[in-house]
Each structure stands twice: as C-alpha cells, then as structure tokens.
Amino acid sequence: MSEERPGGPPPPEATLLGKPVGRRIALKVLATGVAAATQAAAACSPLTAETEQEREVRLLAWREYIKGNYHFMTDEEKAETINRLERLAKLQRGVDVKIQTTKAQPGVLFGYAFNISKCKGFRRCVEACINENNLDRRAATQYIRIFEMEEGEIDLDLADASFEHEVPAEGHFYLGTQCFQCADPPCTRVCPVGATWQEPDGIVVVDYDWCIGCRYCMAACPYWARRFNWYEPEVPVEELNPNQHYLGNRARKKGVVEKCTFCIHRSRQGRLPACVEACPTGARVFGNLLDPDSEIRWVLAHKKVFRLKEDLKTEPRFWYFTD
C-alpha cells in the first residue's frame, strides 16, 4: 500500500513511527488519535478547561470534604468552614446565607409543652416549619405531624395524620408530634460515627457533613422524629431562609439524616421556634426549664401533663397538657 511520493520527503502527517505511510492509513490514525485526545480532554476537563469559579468551587468542596466533626472543631475551624459554606452557597446557588455557630446559653435547658385542648389542627406550625427550616419541597419533608384523634382515644396508631377536611372536626382532638429532644436520646447512642449528639441546652443536633446516612438513629428513635434525604433537598431560591445555623437549617445533602432542632438558630437567640410563633391558638409553650418564672415551669407545676411512651425512659422534654 505504500508508494513513494516524488519530489522530497513526505509531509509529517503522513509518517507513522518514522516510516512513511499511505494517505488512507494516515487518515485512519489521525482520526483515532483525535478522538482519543478529545475523550481524554473531556475526562480531564476540570483540570484543563474549568473557569475560575469552577476551580474555586472545587477547592472549597474539597476542603469541606476533608474537614472534621463539628463537635471537635476549634472556633477558628468553625469560622473557616462557615466562610467556605457561605461562599459555596453564593457560588453554587447565588444566595447570600448567614450561617451562625451560636453556642448554647449557660443556664438554659429548653422544654416544650403542647396543649391538646387548644390545638385545632390548623397546621400553621407545619407550614412555618417548612419555610423556616428549608425543608425539602420535593419530598415534602415535614418534622411536625398533627394527629387527629378521637376523643377518649390515645392510640396514635388509630389516629389520622393526613386529614384535609375542615378542622376542628366534631368529637376529635389534635395532638402534634415532632422531635422531643429526649434527655436520654437513644438516637445519639447508636450513631456509629458520632455525627449526632445532645447540646448543653438539651437540643439533639446532627452534623450533616459527618453523617454517613446509615439511618441507625431513625431505627432507634421511638417517635419517628428523624427524616432521611433520599434526594438532594430542593428549596426554591426565593423561598430560602438565609438565617441559618450550622447544626440547624443549613443546606442538607443527599443521604443524610435531619431532624427538628427547636429552631436552634432562633431559640438560642431568645426567639421562639417557628412552630410556636405560628400557632394561631397558643397551644404551644416553649421556654427555659431552669427558669422558675418561665411559662413552661408554670405549666409543669399547675397542669396535668403527660409524655408519649414514658415507659421507654427516654425522658422527652416535651409534655402534653390539657386545659
């Protein structure tokens, strides 16, 4: 197939390993080489063709990937990861979020009381919780469940948590559940990596960047208070709550567990959780158990209270009471 070209050496593209080759073979080799080069370039595109912004995202994400558990971070490390997370939110989603690392106030232990006589099942708390905590809109994640119970009945298995009719219904009362922030939480014991723990003010939190998604905590919780992200949570940018806490309502990832934190970004600043603030009937009481003048202490002292599954000795800091 090779034939000598008259008039000088062959052109460079028509040689293979120093030997002159024919046009057909040369074209074939050339085509193969170009295709391979293109594939290689595509495979290595972050190294070759990334923009400045992509490079920054890649470096920030890598630093985030190798950081430690929040529980053991120093204040400087916390500040660094906050800077990275806020920068990532700006680069990836174009939102200006403010992530706080507010610590627990000394002498504060949060307690919650729920008046089953007052709750009418309006579910404004659920709405406020979704908006406040940036819950996944796509999977319709909800921390709060409102059970419609028949009067005289206390079995939650027989209750309806998906009512859509006008409330309050005749002959029914309403009982809401969420994370009870147990004093002896079984969910934190079973975590194999220490990604969930109880804070000094009683709030059980999750480090979303340390969670491996094994869901042991979900199996351990007797109240079904934890939620798993099967997907990357989707929140419309215009509805995103930019006031966030590292252990609370910041962006979660796919494959991690999340839970109610009594709105840790609000309650640690002296504000009420969103569910308490949204309740139109005043059925929810929130306060400091160590303050003898607090409303929660008054309720515990003067009302008949009960808790769910007390025989499990998880000691929830969440009481139900009646008028």
Q: Give the span between the Cα atoms of 87 and 129, in whole angstroms.
A: 26
308 counts as binding another protein under rule CB under 8 A: no
- Stretch of 31-39, 94-102, 205-213, 228-236 lying at the interface with another protein (CB under 8 A): 228-236
Element (H, E) at 79: helix 75-93
Q: Are 299 and 305 in contact (CB under 8 A)?
A: yes
In sequence order, what DSSP letters do the residues of 10-60 get, joined into one string?
Answer: PPGGGEETTEE--HHHHHHHHHHHHHHHHHHHHHTHHHHS--HHHHHHHHH
Secondary structure of 208-256 as H, E, C letters: CCCCCCCCHHHHHCCCCCEEECCCCCCCCHHHCCCEEECCCCCCCCCCC
- Using the rule CB under 8 A, which residue among 106, 152, 171, 192 binds another protein? 106
- Using the rule CB under 8 A, which residue among 33, 68, 194, 200 binds another protein? 200
Q: Which residue has the tokens 């908006």?
A: 131
Among positions 86-105, residues that touch another protein (CB under 8 A) are 104
Least Å from the CB of residue 99 to another protein: 19
DSSP 102: P
| C-alpha to C-alpha distances, 102 to 82, 266, 268, nearest whole angstrom | 12, 10, 7
Which lies closer to another protein via its Cβ, residue 28 or residue 271?
Answer: 271
Q: Give the span between the Cα atoms of 21 and 75, in whole angstroms.
A: 68
311 counts as binding another protein under rule CB under 8 A: no
Which lies closer to another protein via its Cβ, residue 95 or residue 169?
Answer: 169
160 counts as binding another protein under rule CB under 8 A: no
Whose CA is closest to 283, among 113, 110, 118? 118
Q: Are 2 and 24 in contact (CB under 8 A)?
A: no
Which lies closer to another protein via its Cβ, residue 26 or residue 223?
Answer: 223
265 counts as binding another protein under rule CB under 8 A: no
Among positions 118-137, residues that touch another protein (CB under 8 A) are 118, 120-124, 126-127, 130, 137
Least Å from the CB of residue 254 to another protein: 11
Q: Which residues pair with 198 in a beta bridge?
A: 204
Least Å from the CB of residue 116 to another protein: 12
- Using the rule CB under 8 A, which residue among 237, 301, 304, 311 binds another protein? 301
- Stretch of 43-51, 60-68, 92-100, 140-148 lying at the interface with another protein (CB under 8 A): 140-148
Give the interface size with another protein as a residue count (CB under 8 A).
78
Which lies closer to another protein via its Cβ, residue 89 or residue 182?
Answer: 182
Among positions 163-192, residues that touch another protein (CB under 8 A) are 163-168, 183-184
Whose CA is closest to 70, among 211, 255, 182, 184? 211
Least Å from the CB of residue 151 to another protein: 17
Which lies closer to another protein via its Cβ, residue 101 or residue 294?
Answer: 294
Least Å from the CB of residue 76 to another protein: 20
315 counts as binding another protein under rule CB under 8 A: yes
- Using the rule CB under 8 A, which residue among 173, 233, 276, 320 binds another protein? 276
Among positions 10-49, residues that touch another protein (CB under 8 A) are none
The contacts found for 51-55 with CB under 8 angstroms, 24 or more apart, are: 53/91
